[in-house]
Amino acid sequence: MDRSADKSRVTLDPGICGGRPCIRDTRIEIAIILDGLAEGLTFDDLIDHYPQLTREDILAALAYAADLAHEGLWKTAVRT
């Protein structure tokens, strides 16, 4: 799956949100989107809370998280 369009939606800028990954041209952090989804919010719920957010932005946040998981950067809390 080509995610190049998704990648252009995510930015890391030391001057914005302390350098944490955000949706481009917003101050909506990727973590906020992921936290909302993990808490059971729907795409529509997130867009209602953050009107400047689009469905494509939410998909980009998920793609960003997936890329991190594939790179092995996700550390598990419990080791077995």
Please give the model's pTM, rounded to 2 decimal places.
0.82
50: tokens are 């953050």
Overall average pLDDT of the 4-21 stretch: 86
Torsion of CA 32, 33, 38, 41, to 10 degrees: 110
Model confidence band, residue 75 (pLDDT cutoffs 50, 70, 90): low
In angstroms, the CA 11 to CA 70 distance is 19
Which domains does the chain show, CATH number per domain? 4-70 (1.10.10.10)
Return d(Cα 74, Cα 28) in angstroms, integer: 21
pLDDT digits (tens, 9 = 90+) for 24-67: 999 999 999 999 999 999 999 999 999 999 999 999 999 999 88
Residue ranges in 2-76 assigned as alpha helix (H):
4-7, 30-38, 43-49, 55-70
